[in-house]
A and B are shown apart, each in its own frame.
Chain A
Amino acid sequence: MFGSDFFMEIIKKEFFAEDNSILEQAKNVPYDDGVILRDVSYKLKILTDAAKYDVACTSSGVTRKGNGKTMGNAAACGICHAFAADGRCISLLKILMSNECVFDCKYCINRSSNDVPRATFTPDEICKLTMEFYRRNYIEGLFLSSGVIKNPNYTMELMYEVVRRLRVDHGFNGYIHIKAIPGAAQELVEAIGYLADRMSINLEMPTGEGLKEMAPHKTRNTILKPMKQIQTGIFNNRLSHGITDKKSAMQMRNYGDDLYESALSSKLLAGESKVISENRNNDFIIGTRGKYFVPAGQSTQMIVGATKESDYHIINVAEALYKNYDLKRVFYSAYIPINDDSALPALDVKPPLLREHRLYQADFLLRFYGFKASELLTEERPFFNENIDPKCDWAVRHLEHFPVEINQADIAVLLRVPGIGVKSARRIVQARRLGVIDFGDLKKMGVVLKRALYFITCKGKMMYDTKLEESYIVNHLIYNEPPHKAVGQAEANYSQMSLFDYYGKEMYGDNYIFDNHFVTNSKATMGGGV
């Protein structure tokens, strides 16, 4: 029935072998492709360690079926493969190409003035690691960033070479995220953009002054210019595929074929591409022939807590980035003191994880819940409340909008109710077409009642006899008391809110930091019940 007798023979022989000589052979097969694993191992340790502070590790935003010939495919919802001891998801091989950096950004472990072990991967080593990790199902692809070797263009040319070899020589069809180096030539950004799925360029500091203070070799301009270039490239490319909206995930077709056609011309180029020139014109032939430009979109990252900027600053910047640069994601990274520097927080300052967490929550409110940054914070009130999340915080300060009747309220209004997420709001709207909703039904729809109950009515009734009063609700929310019991004001109760609660699935439905774990039907589940 199964055919392929030949392969059956192989299976029998190799996997159920009686013959010990096969065992012996298996142990003695040498690797002979020029990549020496001992070197790779040494470099991998240094260059993973150097890359770990970068936040984004998602593999989302693009769907690409396999091409039937070479390895790889991609799923828009992203796939997560492992979890590190810090609880962060591992989806991509996140490494630096090199940490032999000539820049001296104060906050960075790899700055030129630090005395740390240095290493640089060759393009072949990176290709090998990516391909071999991928085929063992360890990863979804590669996330490559780098310190600046010699100068930005030299670095980006090497990175281009990595992606070119992966896509063309190895036919790799999985996910690739490339970090652009500030100050690199436009042509390089463009050429890489036609081979990568996602590109990002780190904003680093929320304000230009902060950046100047912290990163003497970078300017706001060298960051925003490529960001704009990538945005325009994506926009035009999507138009050329007939896609006019800015949000939907790209469905790619015939990706591989396209690259093979151009493989030949790139091979011709290969000899020449070793030449590092500041002003090459149109050498990146694959680039201009590629069909898809950064199909999974663009993201960026800001460091939180290294400089003085407030949350107000940060979310306003994030809002501007979403609006004016069409970014897919803005990531926030709590500054971890690694360098002893008078311009930076002292070494014993704990990373502001809670603050980072609040920013992610606010970020979700901006992207999926129809909030504006100006509604969440103001110049007079520039920081988020440590004790309650930004949505609750907004709600208790705007009690005039509540209570909301579940059976009537507009979806935009439902989305503003604490405890109701995007998915549950949609379910409510669907379900009430068929009948009247009561509190019991809400729970099944994924509403987090213990937060929502202060703000809603079903059939005109509140769930319990609660007061629509700021301090009353805040106390209940913070101390997590059931509303029909006495309010426990004891300070000790604060410990109930461990960080785990923030990260727990129960409070936030799915995941809000990394848009890709456990997500079976992608978008709808994001941000559960913020």
Chain B
Amino acid sequence: MIEYVLLHDGTLDGIFTAIYDGFALKKSVYKDKYDDNIAVASKNNYEAHLFCNYIEVATDSTKAAKTVEYIVKKLGMAGYDMAMGVACHFSEEAGEVLFAFLVRGFKVGKGIINKLTDKWVMRAFELSRKTYNESHLMREFIRFSDMRGRLYAKIEPKCNILHMMCNHFADRFPGENWVIFDATHKIAAVHPCYKGWFLMDDLDVDFDRIDEMAHDEYVDLWKLFVDTIAIEERRNEKCQNNHLPKWYRKNMTEWNRRE
């Protein structure tokens, strides 16, 4: 039964600060009588319950860094990746699952990721798999537009996956200035050419205006290519839908046919 919910600001630093504070709380309030009473949640995305205490957490990147370090030390890289996958999932329960997963992980150690018989670990496994799937698909389906030599892309992912995609594109386009806007989470990844990428948060972006600015001639060439490459005699929309979920299409160049 959840008695305390630590509310963070939805950023990665925020989540890991809340975890840090959560474990401090667990130690001081419950000692060894703990029975999954603590969860973390984003203050923008939670359902209030009557008998629950809500504590707002002030994001503190030192605490967050310590938490990450501790998770890596205790659970190994694979365990950390799984925790990260859960932390970035959009569902309301993710915070509860993450906390429960870490409580068990800190006890069990590196073997935790295989302990799928525990229902919390199983749930963590499922959530994190969904997150990584989305990040993988987004890597394929994201489209950049050229704005006077700079690349710009807009995505609307359900999970907070922007940071998971950036190494891939930094490796692939080292000499480009590129920006990816995540309109769902109002954050952006910025990559100045030949430098490391970084995240910017709290963005309010007028996308219509940007679309207006992006006047990219290759868009038409690409649409022409996609239309022409299909073999009419083999038309198979079901198969297409199966491979390319409609959800992803709204920001894909070739599906964007306003004119």
Residues from chain B with Cβ under 8 Å of A22 in the complex: 213
Pick the contact of B236 from A37, A41, A87, A505 — CB < 8 Å? A87
**Is A138's beta carbon under 8 Å from chain B?**
yes
CB pair B153–A503 under 8 Å, yes or no, is: no
Pick the contact of A71 from B133, B176, B177 — CB < 8 Å? B176
Pick the contact of B144 from A26, A93, A136, A351 — CB < 8 Å? A136
14 A/B residue pairs, CB under 8 Å, sorted by A: A8-B190, A15-B147, A17-B213, A23-B213, A26-B214, A37-B221, A53-B231, A81-B141, A82-B226, A86-B231, A133-B218, A135-B151, A174-B172, A520-B132
- Given A22-B213, A44-B221, A93-B225; A87-B174 close (CB under 8 Å): no
Q: A500 to B238, alpha carbons, bound, how many Å?
A: 7
Nearest CB in chain A: distance from B218 CB, A:
5
CB pair A87–B243 under 8 Å, yes or no, is: yes
- Number of A-B pairs whose CB atoms are under 8 Å? 187
Pick the contact of A69 from B147, B175, B200, B209 — CB < 8 Å? B175
**Is B139's beta carbon under 8 Å from chain A?**
yes
CB pair B221–A520 under 8 Å, yes or no, is: no
Nearest CB in chain A: distance from B136 CB, A:
6
Q: A84 to B241, alpha carbons, bound, how many Å?
A: 10
**Is B215's beta carbon under 8 Å from chain A?**
yes
Residues from chain A with Cβ under 8 Å of B67 in the complex: none
Q: A25 to B176, alpha carbons, bound, how many Å?
A: 20
**Is A79's beta carbon under 8 Å from chain B?**
yes
CB pair B238–A69 under 8 Å, yes or no, is: no
Q: A301 to B170, alpha carbons, bound, how many Å?
A: 35
Q: A66 to B146, alpha carbons, bound, how many Å?
A: 21
Q: A49 to B232, alpha carbons, bound, how many Å?
A: 11
Q: A87 to B233, alpha carbons, bound, how many Å?
A: 12
Pick the contact of B252 from A82, A87, A503, A504 — CB < 8 Å? A82
Nearest CB in chain A: distance from B12 CB, A:
14
Residues from chain A with Cβ under 8 Å of B218 in the complex: 132-133, 136
Other contacts beyond A15-B152, A15-B205, A133-B218: 16, CB < 8 A: A15-B179, A22-B213, A41-B221, A49-B228, A51-B229, A53-B231, A71-B172, A73-B172, A84-B240, A86-B231, A86-B236, A87-B243, A135-B144, A136-B143, A334-B234, A503-B236
Q: A135 to B216, alpha carbons, bound, how many Å?
A: 13
Q: A462 to B233, alpha carbons, bound, how many Å?
A: 44
**Is B220's beta carbon under 8 Å from chain A?**
yes
**Is A242's beta carbon under 8 Å from chain B?**
no
Q: A37 to B218, alpha carbons, bound, how many Å?
A: 9
Residue in chain B with minimal CB distance to A95: B225
Q: A4 to B193, alpha carbons, bound, how many Å?
A: 11
Residues from chain B with Cβ under 8 Å of A86 in the complex: 230-232, 234-236, 239-240
Pick the contact of A136 from B192, B222, B239, B242 — CB < 8 Å? B222
Residue in chain B with minimal CB distance to A520: B136
Nearest CB in chain B: distance from A243 CB, A:
24
- Given A15-B205, A71-B172; A137-B143 close (CB under 8 Å): yes
Pick the contact of A90 from B177, B209, B229, B237 — CB < 8 Å? B229
Pick the contact of A14 from B140, B146, B150 — CB < 8 Å? B150
Residue in chain A with minimal CB distance to B228: A48
Residues from chain A with Cβ under 8 Å of B214 in the complex: 26
The residue among A25, A49, A85 with the most chain B CB atoms within 10 A of its own CB is A85
Residues from chain A with Cβ under 8 Å of B132 in the complex: 520
Nearest CB in chain A: distance from B168 CB, A:
8
Pick the contact of B243 from A89, A94, A133 — CB < 8 Å? A89
CB pair A138–B173 under 8 Å, yes or no, is: no
CB pair A336–B233 under 8 Å, yes or no, is: yes
Residues from chain B with Cβ under 8 Å of A40 in the complex: 221
Q: A11 to B225, alpha carbons, bound, how many Å?
A: 31
**Residue ranges of B at the interface with A (Cβ–Cβ < 8 Å):** 132-133, 136-137, 139-148, 150-153, 169-177, 179, 190, 192, 195, 198, 200, 205-206, 209-210, 212-218, 220-222, 224-240, 242-244, 252-254
CB pair A79–B139 under 8 Å, yes or no, is: yes
CB pair A72–B151 under 8 Å, yes or no, is: no
Residues of A401-420 whose CB lies within 8 A of B = none
Q: A14 to B209, alpha carbons, bound, how many Å?
A: 11
CB pair A7–B177 under 8 Å, yes or no, is: yes
Q: A522 to B190, alpha carbons, bound, how many Å?
A: 30
CB pair A499–B236 under 8 Å, yes or no, is: yes
Pick the contact of A85 from B136, B198, B217, B235 — CB < 8 Å? B235
**Is A372's beta carbon under 8 Å from chain B?**
no
Q: Please name the 10 residue pairs, one residue from A and one from B, whose CB atoms are nearest each other, closest first.
A: A87-B239, A84-B230, A7-B192, A66-B171, A87-B236, A86-B234, A85-B230, A48-B228, A2-B198, A83-B244
Residue in chain A with minimal CB distance to B191: A7
Q: A160 to B189, alpha carbons, bound, how many Å?
A: 38
Nearest CB in chain B: distance from A265 CB, A:
24
- Given A49-B228, A135-B176; A26-B242 close (CB under 8 Å): no
Q: 0/1 per residue, A1-42, Cβ < 8 Å to B?
A: 010100110110011110000110111010100000100110
**Is A80's beta carbon under 8 Å from chain B?**
yes
Q: A511 to B240, alpha carbons, bound, how many Å?
A: 12
Q: A174 to B171, alpha carbons, bound, how many Å?
A: 11
CB pair B153–A137 under 8 Å, yes or no, is: yes
